[in-house]
Structure formats: C-alpha cells, structure tokens
Structure 1
Amino acid sequence: MSTLSSRLSRWFHAQMPTHEQLAANRFTAPLARRQDLFRFTRRSVPRGVAVGLLVGIFALIPGIQIIGAALMCVPVRGNIPLAAAMTFLSNPGTTPLILAAAIWLGNRMGYHADLSTFHALYERGASAHEWLYWLLSDAAPSLVVGLSILSVGSAALGYLLAVWFWRGWIGRKNKARQLRPARGQGLDPPGGAA
C-alpha cells in the first residue's frame, strides 16, 4: 500500500519537465545548463525551500514570486522546483493573514499602521486605488518591516525543517535498506539443502 507522501512524490516527479523540454524553451535554456538546480540533494532542497519562502512571503505578487525564486536559486544553488512550489504558500487565501501578521509585527517594531483600516478595506472589498492610498499613507513602513521579519523568519524555519525532514527521510531509507536481505543471501539453494 502506497503512502500519501510517496504518491505525492511520484506525482510531483511526473509533473516536472524533462531536461530536454527545459533546454528547448528559450526562457529556461540558460537554467537547463545548470542541472544541479533541478536535483534533489541534501543541500539544494533546504536552500530551495528557504528561497521560496523568503521570496513568496515578501513579494506577494503572483508571477514575480516564481521568477524571483528561480533567479535567487541560481547563486545559492537551491532547488528551483521546490522554491517555485514554496511560493504558493502565499495565495489569495493566505495573503490577508500574511499582511495582517506583517502589519502587526511592524507595529510591534515601533511603526504605525492602523489594523482596523486594513480590516475595513478587506471586508468591503476595496479597490486597488483605496489599498494603494492606505499603503502609501501610513502603512508602508510597518508593512515592509513586518514582511521582512516574517519572510526571513519563515525562510530560516523552512530551512531547518527541510534539513530535519531530509535527514529523517534518508535515515528511514538507509534503515530499510539495511533490513532487506542482500541479493542472493538467505535463500535456500534449489532442490533443498545438501
């Protein structure tokens, strides 16, 4: 019986583009030459998770997040597919929570942004013009400081959790490998014992 994580892993690997597909695309061809950016290794996985969380929470603009995460993975040698996947943690359902937490953190750091105005704008479905006016009036410093703290903290926590999960996964794989009988050992010879 297959576990959810193994099914999810198989699905994820089936959805990933091949090296040939990346090399054929004019936008991804420069990245396709760097195959290490697409491998799942003990170093690239935590780096990809951290970069994805950092960019995904700080940028909050769909499209820019994935491009920014992919570009940031190049110098730090992070896993690009994981970084892109981590940016989806900030989505239309979580963005209001992230913004509220960032404003709260910014206010705790000594800046001022009125949370009641934020909630009122959110509840009535304010236009982009109203959001921009509110942001430029008094909320910008609080929001930027809060997003900075939130994104750096999330990236650090994501990095540590990815290292921990990676070590656990490799440990379970090694333990299972040790428990399996070696090929050809432990089998009776054909025709019974001599």
Structure 2
Amino acid sequence: MSTLFSRLARWFHAQMPTHEQLAGNRFTAPLARRQELFRFTRRSVPRGVAVGLLVGIFALIPGIQIVGAALLCVPVRGNIPLAAAMTFLSNPATTPFILAASIWVGNHLGFHADLSTFYALYESGAGARRWLYWLLSDAAPSLVLGLFVISVVTAAIGYLLSVWFWRGWIGHKHKARQLRPRRPAPPLEKPCAGAGA
C-alpha cells in the first residue's frame, strides 16, 4: 500500500506546475500571490483534484484547461498545482476516448450524434471546418451533455479517491512516526554531595 501511495505522490509531483511557472504566466500570476491556494491540506487537495478533472474533461482545450482550473480553484479554495496537474489526464491520447464516451452518453440521454461520423472524421484527420460542421449538426447537444455528465462524475470520483488517498497518506506518515525509534531521554544529573554545604 505504501508503494502505491509513494508512486502516486511522485506522479502528481512530476505533473504539477511549479509556483514559479504559474507566477510567470500572465493569466495565473495574480493567483500565485495567494499562498493558501498552493498549500496541501485535507480540504484543498480533494477540491483541487475535483476542479482539475471537471475543467480538464469538460473544456478539452489545452490552454484553457489550466487557466480555467486555476480560476475555479479561487472560489472553492482548491489546490491550484494539483488542479492544473489533473487537467493533463485529458491529453491527445485520451481525448478521442473521452469524446466517444461523451457522444455515447449523450445519445443514451435522448440526443443523436453519429458515432461513425466522429470516427471517420478522426481517422481522416479532418480540418477545423469539417469538425465545426459536424458539431453544428445535431451532434453538439449530445457531445456537450455527455462531456458534462462524464466530467461531473469523474470529478466526484476523483474527490472521493483523493479524500481516501489523503487519509491513507496521513495515516502512513503517522504510523511511520510511531514506529520510528525514540531516543532515550538524557539521564538526570544527581546533585553533588557537597553542593550547598
């Protein structure tokens, strides 16, 4: 269990933008001054994870994801670096699957988008004009509703998993502290027999 926690912690640390990177971006620089948004606490960590997953999956536009997650962390007091790292779970490798799942969910909720057309556009490397034409058909409501449902459900699951992860990590640290050998207290010096005579 401890190796799982340490692997996840290393992965999150590698994905998170540094405070300096956020301060160097003109959009996130004002947020970098608010230190409470960069602390790892039992409340800010799950909120940051949920915000990052919500914005990262729903927006699907790389530049907007990090800025949107950072801005949304302000009112909910989420951890900005963690939220920014969570947006990377939607990337060029996962985006086609997210879009296909969103269309599938939207279609099951009463809308209609042709999934085979989506795959044909993706496989042929269609340009922006063809994608826009497809979206302006009846595919847009299905896709948007599906993205919304998937992003909300993923954010809720991420929130619960991060609460579990945080408790496990704190418990692991507490156990390690208890198992650490304690140094014996130095012996009390006895007063000399002739002292005070």
Question: TM-score, normalised on structure 2?
Answer: 0.84
- Write out per-residue CA displacement over residues 119-166 of structure 1, whole angstroms, 9 at most, x where no aligned residue: 111111111110110110110000010000000000000000000000
Q: In the TM superposition, what is the alpha-carbon distance from 1:102 to its structure 2 partner?
A: 0.2
Q: Please give the secondary structure, in 2, of the residue aligned with 1:5.
A: helix
Identity of aligned residues (%): 73
Structure (1 or 2) with the larger CA radius of gyration: 2
CA RMSD of aligned residues (A): 2.7
Please, which moves more after superposition, 117-126 or 66-75? 117-126
Distance 2:16 2:145 in 1: 39
Residue 167 of structure 2 corresponds to 167
Residue 180 of structure 2 corresponds to 180
Residue 192 of structure 1 corresponds to none
Residue 34 of structure 2 corresponds to 34
Residue 154 of structure 1 corresponds to 154
Structure 1 residues 184, 26: closer, same or farther in 2, change over 3 A? farther
Residue 98 of structure 1 corresponds to 98
**What is the 5 A alignment of 1:37-52?**
37-52=37-52
Distance 1:157 1:108 in 2: 21
Structure 1 residues 177, 9: closer, same or farther in 2, change over 3 A? farther
Equivalent residues of 2:16, 2:85 under 8 A apart? no
**What is the 5 A alignment of 1:85-124?**
85-124=85-124
Q: In the TM superposition, what is the alpha-carbon distance from 1:7 to its structure 2 partner?
A: 8.0
Residue 130 of structure 1 corresponds to 130
Structure 1 residues 86, 5: closer, same or farther in 2, change over 3 A? same
Partner amino acid, structure 2, of 1:58: F
Partner amino acid, structure 2, of 1:5: R
Q: In the TM superposition, what is the alpha-carbon distance from 1:182 to its structure 2 partner?
A: 2.1
Q: Please give the secondary structure, in 2, of the residue aligned with 1:78.
A: coil
Structure 2 stretches lacking a partner, 5+ long: 188-197
Structure 1 residues 102, 38: closer, same or farther in 2, change over 3 A? same
Structure 1 residues 25, 172: closer, same or farther in 2, change over 3 A? same
Structure 1 residues 107, 13: closer, same or farther in 2, change over 3 A? closer
Question: TM-score, normalised on structure 1?
Answer: 0.85
Q: In the TM superposition, what is the alpha-carbon distance from 1:31 to its structure 2 partner?
A: 1.6
Q: Please give the secondary structure, in 1, of the residue aligned with 2:19.
A: coil
Paired residues in the alignment total 183
Q: In the TM superposition, what is the alpha-carbon distance from 1:81 to its structure 2 partner?
A: 0.3
Structure 1 residues 120, 36: closer, same or farther in 2, change over 3 A? same
Equivalent residues of 2:59, 2:65 under 8 A apart? yes
- Write out per-residue CA displacement over residues 54-75 of structure 1, whole angstroms, 9 at most, x where no aligned residue: 0000000011000000000000
Distance 2:25 2:49 in 1: 25
Residue 195 of structure 2 corresponds to none
Distance 1:68 1:5 in 2: 27
Equivalent residues of 2:15, 2:85 under 8 A apart? no
Structure 1 residues 7, 95: closer, same or farther in 2, change over 3 A? closer
Partner amino acid, structure 1, of 2:131: W
Structure 1 stretches lacking a partner, 5+ long: 189-194
Q: In the TM superposition, what is the alpha-carbon distance from 1:6 to its structure 2 partner?
A: 8.4
Residue 18 of structure 2 corresponds to 16
Structure 1 residues 121, 11: closer, same or farther in 2, change over 3 A? closer
Distance 2:164 2:71 in 1: 25
